[in-house]
């Protein structure tokens, strides 16, 4: 009740309920009808359920039509995967990632890995000189309508903006472009350059800013290859949170005799959810020949793998045997040979590089 009404009641000596008219109001005072009641809308009321419709009983879950995920490359890379390629600087991560992208776009095999069909690929580069980027694609014979590129330099030249895939607006734009152009595989090269403002060692930072986006892409059927640097311990640099949602992790290591033009490196799987057994380690050699890049490969020498595991910190025969998928006796024979060759020592049960 407003102040005027209160004053009028005081003048009537607080007439009370006996002085009220039939409509419950004091006679002679100005009143306006109250506004009509507003019916609650869906937005103002309880938000719609998003989880409950997805709860399935066993009969419905058992009968649910789930299309198989087609293989993209070999038996280790499938549609919708989030995978990681990592290694030390200058070892050949971008060469391998571009070779993967070109093979997928052309529908051709890469080394021992079979590619059953051409795929639409968007390669996002946050580091290379744009001329070098194009030159590598040309040398790999990767140029085709299925290979689309997004260079940090081209973004700046055409939009005067910085390419930053950790910004929500750019993530949304990349997702929209991928869906609108039927992209099957998105390559992000590399995390250190594309994800600015994200603390490498902070698991929560990666989860809140990057992982949710990668999982959203996966649910939309868009596979992602994320290229990352290795730290001084030869593991993925920064938080291990980057590994949690990955279907596969492909690691690059140095090979004795590498260097020079092109790239030479060893690949082995640090994680594999798709293939029944881990694909074997491979020794790759990418070398320039008459303006093209020739790619050769061979199954890696077990002695090279044995040494690599010791350099990574595994010094026990049983641990090395488990990682290599061989018997302890096989590891013991390799150790005996390495000791004879002069690059390994053994103290008790521990191996050490001399």
Rounded Cα gap, residues 307 and 314, in angstroms: 10
Rounded Cα gap, residues 228 and 87, in angstroms: 7
Residue 260 confidence (pLDDT): 65
**Distances in whole angstroms, Cα of residue 216 to Cα of each of 31, 211, 221, 239:** 57, 9, 9, 21
Tokens standing for residue 324: 């290599």
Domains of the chain from N-terminus onward:
78-300 (3.40.50.300), 306-353 (1.10.10)
Query: Do 307 and 314 contact (CB within 8 A), yes or no?
Result: no
Rounded Cα gap, residues 133 and 163, in angstroms: 16
Q: Where do we find the tokens 């986006």? A: 213
Residue 41 confidence (pLDDT): 52
The reported pTM is: 0.79
Rounded Cα gap, residues 216 and 80, in angstroms: 10
Pairing between β-strand 282-289 and β-strand 292-299 as defined by DSSP bridges: antiparallel
Peptide bond into 218 cis (omega under 30): no
- Within 10 A of 328 (CB to CB), how many other CB atoms are there? 13
Residue 169 confidence (pLDDT): 97
Rounded Cα gap, residues 297 and 265, in angstroms: 10
Q: What is the pLDDT along the chain (354 residues), one digit of tens a residue?
A: 444 444 444 444 444 434 444 544 434 434 445 445 545 455 567 889 999 999 999 999 999 999 999 999 999 999 999 999 999 999 999 999 999 999 999 999 999 999 999 999 999 999 999 999 999 999 998 889 999 999 999 999 999 999 999 999 999 999 999 999 999 999 999 999 999 999 999 999 999 999 999 999 999 999 999 999 999 888 899 999 999 999 999 999 888 665 667 799 999 999 999 999 888 899 999 999 999 999 999 998 888 888 888 988 888 899 888 877 678 888 999 999 999 999 999 988 899 999
154-160 CB contacts, 8 Å cutoff, 24+ apart: 154/130
Residue 262 confidence (pLDDT): 77
């Amino acid at each position: 009740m407003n102040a005027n009404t209160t004053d009028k009641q005081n003048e009537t000596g607080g007439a009370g309920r006996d002085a009220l008219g039939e409509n419950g109001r004091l006679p002679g005072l100005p009143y306006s009808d109250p506004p009509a009641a507003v019916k609650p809308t869906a937005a103002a009321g309880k938000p719609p359920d998003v989880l409950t419709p997805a709860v399935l009983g066993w009969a419905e879950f058992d009968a649910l039509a789930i299309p198989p995920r087609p293989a993209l490359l070999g038996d280790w890379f499938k549609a919708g995967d989030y995978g990681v390629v990592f290694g030390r600087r200058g070892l050949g991560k971008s060469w391998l990632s571009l070779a993967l992208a070109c093979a997928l776009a052309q529908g051709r095999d890469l080394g021992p890995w079979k590619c059953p069909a051409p795929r639409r690929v968007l390669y996002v580069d946050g580091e290379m000189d744009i001329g070098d980027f194009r030159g590598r694609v040309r040398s790999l014979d990767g140029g085709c309508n299925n290979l689309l590129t997004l260079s940090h330099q081209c973004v700046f030249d055409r939009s005067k903006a910085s390419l930053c895939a950790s910004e929500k607006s750019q993530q949304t734009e990349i997702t929209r472009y991928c869906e609108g152009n039927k992209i099957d595989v998105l390559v992000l090269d590399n995390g250190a350059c594309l994800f600015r403002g994200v603390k490498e060692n902070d698991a929560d930072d990666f989860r809140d800013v990057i992982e949710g986006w990668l999982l959203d892409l996966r649910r939309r059927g868009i596979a992602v290859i994320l290229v990352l640097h290795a730290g001084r311990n030869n593991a993925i640099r920064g938080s291990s949170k980057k590994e949690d949602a990955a279907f596969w992790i492909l690691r690059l290591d140095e090979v004795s005799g590498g260097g020079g033009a092109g790239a030479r490196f060893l690949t082995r799987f640090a994680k594999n959810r798709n293939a029944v057994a881990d694909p074997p380690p491979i020794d790759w050699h990418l070398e320039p020949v008459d303006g093209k890049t020739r790619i050769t490969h061979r199954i890696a020498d077990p002695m090279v793998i044995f040494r690599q595991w010791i350099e990574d910190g595994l010094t026990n025969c049983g641990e090395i045997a488990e990682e290599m998928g061989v018997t302890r006796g096989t590891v013991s024979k390799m150790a005996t040979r390495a000791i004879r060759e002069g690059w390994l020592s053994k103290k008790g049960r521990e191996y050490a590089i001399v």
